[in-house]
Structure 1
Amino acid sequence: MPIHVTRQIPRPGEIFDLLHLKTPELNGRKRRLASALTIEDLRRIAKRRTPAAAFDYTDGAADDEISLARARQAFADVEFHPSILRDVSQVDTSTEIFGGPSAMPFGIAPTGFTRLMQTEGELAGATAAGKAGIPFALSTLGTTSIEDVRAANPHGRNWFQLYVMKQRKISYGLVERAAAAGFDTLFFTVDTPIAGARLRDKRNGFSIPPQISLSTIANAIPRPWWWWDFLTTPQLQFASLSSTGGTVGELLDSAMDPSISFEDLKEIRSLWPGKLVIKGVQNVEDSRALADLGVDGIVLSNHGGRQLDRAPVPFWLLPEVVREVGSDLEVAVDTGIMNGADVVACIAQGAKFTMVGRAYLYGLMAGGLEGVERMIEILSEQVIRTMKLLQVGSVAELRPEHVSQLTRLRPVHGADRRELTR
C-alpha cells in the first residue's frame, strides 16, 4: 500500500529561515586554513604553495623512505579500547615534561632550514608555541638565532637541539648562548654521525640558499608569492652559525661528526645547567646506559626516517623502553605523528611527551604563523576528542590497556629470532 505524504506550498518566510549564508572570507590565507581539517589537508595546501625542492626537503625521508612509511603505518595500526560511563565533560590535556609545564602532550620539534619553507620560519613556530602554552625546540641548523627565538617567545618554554660539531668550540658556544637566553632544555642529537641519503633532495638539486635555474624558474611560475617572500626578506642562513665562517656545505659537513662519543656527552653535561635530553635513541640497551649516566630524558626517534632507512619504528620501541627505564628518566617520542590520536596512543604506551616536525612545517608552508596556529589547533582538537571518546579525564589516566598495536609487522629480536630459525 503506498504511503500518503501530505504536501504544502512552502511560505517564503520558512525558506528564508533555512538559509544561513555566511559572509564570504576575503582573506585568502584565512580561507585556506579554515578549509584544513587535518594535518594532511595542511600538507596538500603546503604542496600547492611551495616549490618542489623546499616541499620535498620537508616531506621526504632517506633512501626508499621505508622508515617513515612504517612509522605512519604503525599509528594507522593502532586499535583503541575506550571505557564507558565516565564523566568527560572536561578533560585535562596538560602535562609536566623535562621540569616544566605544557598545555598539550606535544611540542614543536627542531627543524633545520626552516625559513626556506616559509619566510616567517622559526619566529612563527616559537610565537605559536608560546601562545598555545607548548614548548618550541630550535635546531642548531635553524634559520633564526637563539636570541631572536627567545624574543619571539619570551615567556614560553624554549628548547635547543644541539649537534656536536667537529669544531667543538662552536657547539660549546651554542650551549652557552642557549643557557644565557633562558632555554630550559638541551637536546643532544646522537643519530647523525653522517647525513642520510635524502634522494628527493639530490634529484631536486636542493641547495641552501636556493639556486635559480631553468627548472626552479619553471617550478616558481605558479608560486610567485614564495619567491617574492624569499627575495624581499633577509638572506637565508644558519642564524646560530652565521659568525663561524665557511660555506653552507662546509657548515653542514662540520655539523655531522662520526667521532662523537660518550665523552662528548660528559662535556656537554658539565656545560649545561638545565635539563639534558638525548635525542635519537633507537634501542633498549642505549636507553639503559643513558639512564645509568643520569640524563634527564631521551627522545625515541629515527630522525623522522631521514637518517638510516629501515631503522626501528619509535612507536614500536616505546613500550619496551618505558618498561626498562621509564621510572629512571622521562621518555618522549617523535617520527610519523600526523594526528592527535597518534599523540594519545604514544602517551597511553608510556611516553611522557611527543614532538611534531613535519606537521609543524606543513602548517608553516600553508600559512606562516596562522598556519602553525592552525596546526596546533587541529592536533589539540584531535587530542581532546580522542581522550573524550576513550573516556579518560586527563593525560595521566591514559594507560597501555587503552591501546593495541595490530601486528601487520612484528619486530623479532634476540631469542625470538633464534626460535624462528630452528
Structure 2
Amino acid sequence: MDRYVSVKDIEQAALSLLPKGARDYYKSGATDEQTLAENKLAFQRLRIRPKCLVGVERCDLRTRALGSEVSMPVGISPTAMQRMAHPEGELANARAAQEAGTIFTLSTIATSSIEEVAKAAPTATKWFQLYIYNDREVTRNLVRRAEIAGFKAIALTVDTPLFGIRRADVRNKFTLPPHLRLANFDGHLSTKIQSTDGGSGLNKYVENLFDKSLTWDEVKWLKSITSLPIIAKGVLRGDDAVKAIEAGCSAILVSNHGARQLDGVPASIEALPEIVEAVKGYNVEVYLDGGVLTGTDVFKAIALGAKMVFVGRPALWGLTVGGQAGVKRMLDIFRTELEYTLQIAGTPTIADITRDMVRHESAYSKL
C-alpha cells in the first residue's frame, strides 16, 4: 500500500482495476457532470492563510461528532453496493474506519447487512443512511435494526425523491451483478436491481419504492420512532437547514449526493458558508461531503464551518485496490496530509482552525 502516496494515486489504480459497469457507476455524476467537476474545482479556488511562529509542538486532530470522539475530522460517507469493489465490501470499509478511529456510514442499499457490519466492526462509530420507502414498515424495520445493532445516528437522505440521470448507467444498462444482493432486504427488494428492461437498473429499482411525497413532516415521524439523532443529508440551502432543525434534526450534512442528483447545483464547499450562517444560534453540527481529496481540502472545509468531512468515492477506490488495507491507507493519507497542513498553517489543533484561515481567490485577484 505504501506505493500510493495520494488519494489520486489510489483512484487511478482503482479505475484501472474495476469492471466497466461498476467503474462507471461509482465515478459518474448527473447528466453533463458539471457539478461533479466543480466539487473539486471549488476547493482549488480557496486559499489558506497560514500563521507564522505560533508554536506547533503538538498536533491534535481529534474532534467529536454527535458526542462520539473521533481521531480526525474525516469519516466515511455512505456509498451503495460496495461488494462490486471488493468481496468484503462494506465489512472491510467498516473495519478500516474502526481501525482508524473514525465514523463509518452504511448505505440503505448496501451489499452487506446492518447486522453483518455491526459484527464485523463492533467498536466502530457507525451511522446508518436511510431512504424513506413508500412502505413505512420497511423504513421502520430498518431503523429498528440499526438501533439494535448499535448504530449511533440516522443520516436521512433528503435530496432524493428519485435518483438523478446518470448517463453512464443508462448506456451500460447498469444492474447489480447476479452474485450480489441488497443485503438489508429480503425477497424482490434484495434482487430487483439485478435486472432492467432498459436504462439504469438502479433508477428502475427506486421508481416505485421511494416516496416522492416526502416533506419535513417525515422527519417528525422519524423522530417519533427512534431515539437516535437524525442528520439531514443532502442540504444545499440555508432555509432548508433551518427547516431540518425545526423538524428535529441534530445535524446537517451539506452534500450534493456526490454530484449524482441534479447537475448545475453548487459544489458542496460553495454551499457550506450559507448553511453555517443560517444555523447560527442552533445547537447543531454541520458536516460536508463532496470533492474532498486532500488534507488541505479538509482544512478548508473546517475553516468554513464544517465540524467534519466525509468521503465516499475515496473509500471505494481504497476498497478496490486493497480491501480494508486500501481504505486504511486512504485514511492514513488524509491523516498525514491534515497533520502537515495544521502545523504549517500554524493551527496545532482542530479548534485553532478559524474562518479567517481561508479566503476565496477573488479576494486576491482584486489586488
Cα deviation per residue 1:80-136 (whole Å; 9 max; x = unaligned)? 100011222321101111121111101000010111122121011100000110010
Does residue 384 (structure 1) correspond to residue 329 (structure 2)? The answer is: no
1:121-180 Cα offsets, whole Å, 9 max, x none, are 101110000011001000000110001111111112010000001111101100000001
Instruction: Tell me how far 1:244 sits from its aligned partner.
Output: 5.8
Supply the AA of the counterpart residue of 1:369: Q
Q: CA deviation at 1:263?
A: 2.3
Q: Is the 8 A contact 2:90 2:110 kept in 1?
A: yes
Distance 1:112 1:299 in 2: 18
State yes or no: 1:205 paired with 2:155: no
Are the equivalent residues in 2 in contact too, given 1:349–1:400 (CA < 8 A)? yes
Q: Do residues 290 (structure 1) and 249 (structure 2) align?
A: no
Structure 2 residues not aligned, in runs of 5+: 194-200
Answer with 1 or 2: which has the greater Rg. 1
8 Å contact kept, 1:109–1:136: yes
Counterpart residue identity of residue 247, structure 1: K
CA positional deviation for 1:251: 4.4
Q: Which residues in structure 2 correspond to 1:281-320 (within 5 Å)? A: 281-320=235-274
Amino acid at match of 2:172: N
In structure 1, the gaps of 5 or more residues are 1-32, 211-234, 409-422
CA RMSD after TM alignment = 1.5
Matched AA of 1:238: L
Q: For 1:223-372, what aligned pairs fall within 5 Å after superposition?
A: 235-243=179-187, 245=189, 247-248=192-193, 251-328=205-282, 329-372=284-327
Q: Which moved more, 1:196-205 or 1:354-363?
A: 196-205
The share of aligned pairs that are identical, in percent, is 36
* Aligned twin of 1:134: 102
Choose which of 45, 53, 59 in structure 1 pairs with 2:27.
59
**Aligned equivalent of 1:93:** 61
1:407 shift after superposition: 4.0
Give the count of matched residue pairs: 352
Q: Distance in 2 between matches of 1:172 and 1:357?
A: 26
SS of the aligned residue for 2:184 comes to helix
User: Does the Cα contact within 8 Å between 1:88 and 1:392 map onto a contact in 2?
Assistant: yes
1:255 & 1:180 partners in 2: Cα distance?
Answer: 24
What's the TM-score once normalised by structure 2's chain length?
0.92
Tell me how far 1:204 sits from its aligned partner.
2.4
Q: What is the CA–CA distance in structure 2 between the aligned matches of 1:247 and 1:54, rounded to whole Å?
A: 17
SS at match of 2:142: helix
Deviation of 1:270 after TM superposition, in Å, equals: 1.0
Q: Which of 76, 87, 93 is the matching residue for 1:125?
A: 93
Residue in 2 that maps onto 1:155 = 123
1:195 equivalent to 2:147? Answer no
Q: Deviations over 1:334-364 (max 9, x none)?
A: 1111111111110111111111001111111
Task: Specify the alignment match of 2:135 in structure 1.
Answer: 167
Contact preservation (8 Å) 1:166, 1:257? yes
CA distance in 2, matches of 1:327, 1:244: 46
Q: 1:292 to 1:76 in 2, by over 3 A?
A: same
Residues 1:88 and 1:299: Cα distance change in structure 2 (over 3 Å): same
- Decide whether the 8 Å contact of 1:74 with 1:405 is kept in 2: no
Q: 1:115 aligns with which of 57, 70, 83?
A: 83
- TM-score for the superposition, normalised by structure 1: 0.81
Q: SS of the residue aligned with 1:238? A: coil
C-alpha displacement of 1:327: 3.6
CA distance in 1, matches of 2:290, 2:280: 20
State the 1:71 CA deviation: 1.2
What SS does structure 2 have at the residue aligned with 1:34? coil
What letter is aligned with 1:319? P
Q: Residue 24 of structure 1 aligns with which residue?
A: none
Q: Which amino acid aligns with 1:339?
A: T
Equivalent position of 2:198 in the other structure: none
CA offsets, 1:201-227, max 9 Å, x none? 1222321126xxxxxxxxxxxxxxxxx
Give distance in 2, aligned partners of 1:264 and 1:173. Answer: 16
Q: Which amino acid aligns with 1:240?
A: N
